[in-house]
Amino acid sequence: PAFWTSTFGMAMMTFALGGIQVWMPTFLSRARGYTLESANYHFGLIIVVDGIIASLAGGWLGDYLLPKMKGAYYFVSAVGMALGVPFMIVALFMRGPIMMPAIAVAAFFLLLNTSPLNAAVINSVGAHIRATALAVNIFVFHLLGDVPSPTLMGYVADKRTLQSSFILPVIAMILSSAILFYGMKFAPAVELSGASMTPSEKK
């Protein structure tokens, strides 16, 4: 259960991230008056800066909380995904100077999951099947995540509006958070400094 909850949680995360990365510059250009060049530059800058800072912050926070709770990696990822939802909604439906900061904060919380989720996947299986588990994980999160999401969003955009299509990554973020909160109870104990966590530390 620990492997599959972390894998499906990651799949929903990559679904949201893949669709947003493909369609956000077009959305900014078509619906918010940016030139496509400016939209690509600003959104690309947000992703690069957030990607570095959020990955480091997520990894540090997960490691910091791990001695206190064995589901720390799941918890950090689930909370980050949940916190990103309201900011994504603001980014999509609010105009003016608040929009870009909202996109930046939403992207930060979305990317905060990268390090702890990968750690959760690795720790969810024994060393003897870790390579196979990682291969399955990569296949599943691409198959259910960033491969179909741009196409599905494009389909919704054709039928309704591009803004409407962003409801799909928002739903994926909510599902990812719910799956990871559920997965916390399956998180295995992790050895710290050569010793397993004590029962009091596992709570």
CB burial class (10 A; 0-12, 13-18, 19+) of residue 149?
Answer: buried
User: If pLDDT is split at 50, 70 and 90, which confidence band does 198 have?
Assistant: very low
Query: Is 77:9 a contact under the CB 8 Å cutoff?
Result: yes
Q: What is the pLDDT of residues 71-103, one digit of tens each?
A: 999 999 999 999 999 999 999 988 889 999 999
Residue 192 φ then ψ, to 5°: -120, 125
What pLDDT shows up at residue 96?
87
Which among 191, 182, 189, 183 has a CA at the least distance from the CA of 203?
189
What pLDDT shows up at residue 41?
96
Q: What is the pLDDT of residues 126-168, one digit of tens each?
A: 989 999 999 999 999 999 999 999 999 999 999 999 999 999 9
Would you tell me how many other CB atoms lie within 10 Å of the CB of residue 181?
A: 19
